[in-house]
Amino acid sequence: MKFIKWLLVVIVVLVLAFFLFGKSYLREQTKKNSPEKTATYTKNGMDLTVKYSSPFKKDRVIFGELVPYDVVWRTGANEPTTFTTASNINIGGKSLPAGSYSFWTIPGKDSWSFIFNSEIPDWGVTILSGGKETTRNVDADVVQINAIPQKLSKSIESLSIDFEENDQLYLSLAWDKTKVSVPINK
C-alpha cells in the first residue's frame, strides 16, 4: 500500500513537472525544426496578419503523403496557424468579420478548402494520435472557401503563407510543388 502511494506521488510530480516545464521546452525544441513566421498586410484599409510555424520538406513527399489528401490539416507545425483581420473583409467571395481565427485547410488533389475558425486551440492536434487528428471544433467554423491548387515547376523547401498583391490581394499558401490562393477584398 505504501508503494502505491509513493508511486502515485511520483506520477503526479512528473505530470506537474511536464505541464510546468516540459511543455514550454518541447515547444521551444519543435520551433527549431519549424520556425515561427509572420506575414502582414497593411494597405488599402486592411490590417491583416498570419502567424504560423513553417516546417521543411526534407526530401519528403508533402501533399498526399506527409499531409494526406481530403483530411483536415492544422496547416503548419506546432500551434495552429492564426489569421487576424482588424476590419471586416471579403475572402474568397465570403464575408469574414474582424477578429482572430485559427486557419485550417483540407488539401485535395484538385481542390482545397481554406477554413477560418473562431476558436484557437492550444496545440491543434491530439498528442495520442501523433498529430494526425485535429482538435478543431467544426461548430466554430466561420468561413470555408474552396480553391484550386496550382502546380509549381520548382519545389519550395519550407511552408510559406503570405499575402500577394498584383491587381488583386491574395492569401497564398505554397509548399513543395503546390500553391493555393484565395482573393481578399475590403
Q: Compute CA distances 44 → 78, 87, 163, whole Å.
A: 32, 11, 13
Question: What is the rounded average pLDDT of the residues 161-176?
Answer: 96
pLDDT on residue 29: 46
pLDDT on residue 107: 97
Residue 10, SS3 per DSSP = helix
pLDDT on residue 33: 67
Segment among 13-17, 83-87, 99-103, 176-180 with least mean pLDDT: 13-17
Question: What is the rounded average pLDDT of the residues 9-25?
Answer: 62
- Strand 81-85 vs strand 48-53: parallel, antiparallel, or unpaired? antiparallel
pLDDT on residue 78: 84
Cβ contacts of 172 within 8 Å, gap of 6 or more? 160, 161, 162, 163, 164, 179, 180, 181
pLDDT on residue 18: 61
The domain spans of the chain are: 1-33, 34-185
Helix (H) or strand (E) holding 3: helix 2-17
Sheet with 150-165, edge to edge strand ranges: 94-96, 89-91, 169-185, 150-165
Q: What is the pLDDT of residues 40-50, one digit of tens each?
A: 999 999 999 99
What is the reported pTM?
0.80
Rounded CA gap, 94 and 139, in Å? Answer: 17
DSSP string, 26-87: HHHHHHHHS-EEEEEE--TT--EEEEEE--B-TT--TBTTTB-TTS-B-SSSSSPEEEEESS
